A and B are shown apart, each in its own frame.
Chain A
Amino acid sequence: MSDPGGKPALQTTAGATAAPAAVSIFQIFLEFLIIGATSFGGVVPYLRESLVTKRHWVDDKEFVEMLSISQSLPGLNATNMAVLVGEKLRGAMGSIAGILGMCLPGALLMFVVGIFYRIHGDHVWITAALKGVAAAAVGLLLYTVVNLSKKSLSHKFDFVFIAITVIAVNRLHLGVPRTLIGVGLMAILFHYPRKEQKASATP
């Protein structure tokens, strides 16, 4: 009956964004459920593979655009992307289906892991292994910082804003909200719209 392969595209010429009307709420839920259950080590590549390459729900340009919106807003990339793509395909219900599918597998897993850790977390084996895991998580975070810096910084002076932000949070203990608003405003004003700025300057 309902074909999960979803082969639409009667007359898709150039734009792969052609037939969003053909996507059902359940298909959205299922696709994000699969991403939510398989995206080990970071969701973005899995999102691109699924949404752009496999399903053609968004094209590559749109994907980058949505990702940069996700990055600028509060909220995790994974869930913001689910909301944005869901909204594009089926409005509010699409967003809800997307975020539910995205969150369900990981949430269930961490629910169980949390209970297990609470009971067995003091075991010497587990403590030893977790010490390694925590150190690795710090390394992974540093990698994310390096990677994001390479991709999304547009001016050398941005490193000063990074430094001010770190000092404000870690040394001056100003708290994240005040730092975000204070340094954020400074940085946005620094990047004020210069005339003749190319509209297609997005990374």
Chain B
Amino acid sequence: MNQIPALIRVFSYLSLLTVGGGMAAFPEMKILTVDVHQWLDFKQLIHLYSVGQMAPGPNMMMIVSIGQWAGGTLGAIAVLIAFFGPTAILAFLVAKGWRKLEKWPWRTSIQQGLAPVSIGLLLAGCFSMAKGAITGTETAAISVAVLLILLQYKINPALLVLASAVVGLFTFMPK
């Protein structure tokens, strides 16, 4: 069955939810890609997102993998355009208008008001991912360790993710 129209519909919708970061859309992404369309399962979604943290560039590039699975190369391209197109056009239009609004007092209100909501959405995405990723004491220890190290030292997060892969290899390999 041709999945391209569904891919475009889902990812252009998700695109508009990514206020403050890609993770804001994660709860909806899980429902739409896993439960509704069954392009992949929850574990795979978590794995792809996590591996994507080691890739350079925008941190939601795992959407390309989903597009490729569901619709081949064309699916990957469709997803890319659907996910980045709408917000790019919006940013482009706002770029022009926003500068003119410098004196508009509500501009600061909007920025100050959206800040906690976007952080909340990020945290909600984080929790919904943790449901699948934190499965026991060991995984909980790894995430807490990563959090504490990042808070304490200036270290590239991608390196920590890579190091956690090695830790995982030794910890979770069946004997």
Told that A121-B47, A142-B143 touch, could you supply 9 new A-B pairs with CB distance under 8 A? A75-B87, A78-B59, A107-B76, A127-B172, A132-B142, A138-B134, A180-B19, A183-B120, A189-B109
Interface residues on B, range: 35 or more
Contact B46 A118 (CB under 8 A): no
Which residue numbers of A lie inside 8 Å of B, CB to CB?
Answer: 35-43, 68-80, 83-84, 87-88, 92, 95, 99, 102-103, 105-107, 109-111, 113-115, 117-118, 121, 124-125, 127-146, 148-149, 152-155, 158-159, 161-166, 169-170, 175-177, 179-180, 183-184, 186-193, 197, 199, 201-202
CB–CB A72/B110 < 8 A: yes
Query: How far, in whole Å, are A136 and B120 apart by their CA atoms in the complex?
Result: 20
Question: Which A residues touch B172, using CB under 8 A?
Answer: 127-128, 131-132
Which B residues are CB-close (under 8 A) to A148?
Answer: 20, 115, 118-119, 122
Q: List 25 A-B contacts (CB under 8 A).
A: A40-B156, A41-B156, A71-B115, A73-B90, A73-B91, A75-B84, A84-B95, A110-B65, A111-B65, A111-B73, A125-B173, A128-B169, A132-B165, A134-B133, A135-B140, A135-B143, A135-B146, A136-B146, A139-B142, A145-B119, A169-B120, A176-B24, A184-B113, A186-B113, A201-B108
- B91: shortest Cβ distance to chain A, in Å? 4
The B interface is mostly helix, strand or loop, or mixed, namely helix
How far, in Å, is B51 (CB) from chain A's closest CB?
A: 6
Closest residue to A154 on the B side, CB-wise? B112
Give B residues with C-beta under 8 Å from A: 15-25, 27-28, 44, 46-62, 64-66, 68-69, 73, 76, 80, 84, 86-88, 90-92, 94-96, 98, 102-103, 105-106, 108-130, 132-135, 138-140, 142-147, 150-151, 156-161, 163-169, 171-174
> In the complex, are the beta carbons of B57 and A106 less than 8 A apart?
yes
Closest to B73 in A: A111
Residue among B19, B95, B167 facing the most chain A CB atoms (10 A cut-off): B95
Enumerate chain B residues within 8 angstroms of A83, measured Cβ to Cβ. Answer: 88, 91-92, 95
Contact between B116 and A71, CB atoms less than 8 A apart: no
Are A102 and B57 within 8 A (Cβ)? yes
With contacts A128-B172, A128-B173 known, is A39 near B116, CB below 8 A? no
Q: Complex: how many Å from CA A70 to CA B105?
A: 19
Residues of chain A lying within 8 A (CB to CB) of residue B125: 141
Question: Given A40-B56, A134-B133: A184 and B117 within 8 A (CB)?
Answer: yes
* Chain B, Cβ-Cβ closest to A140: B157
Known contacts: A76-B58, A133-B47. The answer to whether A144 contacts B17 by CB under 8 A is no
Known: A79-B88, A106-B57. A128 touches B64 (CB 8 A): no
Q: How far is the CA of A42 from the CA of B169 in the complex (A)?
A: 24
